[in-house]
Structure 1
Amino acid sequence: MLLAVIGAILAFAVRANTSVVSLPTVGIILMIAGGALIWHGRRGTRHQRVITREERAGGSTGPSSTVRQTIEDRDID
């Protein structure tokens, strides 16, 4: 977020003239980079686990059924 804020300041608030670099252009590049970092950080990392187990009703002699469970984790740093 800091990159986006600094980029906005350079693009819209600073009126200094330099012959080496265009500050509004640098500001726009920093705003785009900051926005991309914010977007990437909000996505997080997703993990998906599938657990399959067989259960028997009535002990070991009863009919069996397969249970499938999907667990989805999302890491947000």
Structure 2
Amino acid sequence: MGPGISLVVLGAILTFAVRAESSVVDLQVVGLIFMVAGGAVIAHARRGTKREHVVTRVDESMDPNQPTHTVQEHVTDRRVD
């Protein structure tokens, strides 16, 4: 998400703060393109959020003759907007 924020900030600077005139490049349009691209990078980074963790549970029986059971669960959280 860092590159997306950098693009948005750079685009805002070019659009709103720089007042240079150029016959080749319109810096305000370039700034808008950077802001839109940064927003797209941020949206893509947030959509692809995936977390996975393993939960290990040990079930011990009160009876010493019963074996101990160990259960591992793989839990995956995926954020989809």
Structure 1 length normalisation: TM-score? 0.59
Give unmatched runs, 5+ long, in structure 2. 51-74
Q: CA deviation at 1:45?
A: 4.7
- The structure 2 residue matched to 1:31, chosen from 25, 28, 35, is 35
The C-alpha deviation readout for 1:15-61, integer Å capped at 9, x for no partner, is 00011000000000000000000011011255xxxxxxxxxxxxxxx
**Deviating runs (4+, > 2 A) in structure 1?**
71-75
Give unmatched runs, 5+ long, in structure 1. 47-70
Over aligned residues, Cα RMSD in angstroms? 2.6
Distance 1:3 1:72 in 2: 31
- Count of residue pairs the alignment pairs up: 54
More strand by share: 1
1:9 is aligned to 2:27: no
Structure 2 length normalisation: TM-score? 0.57
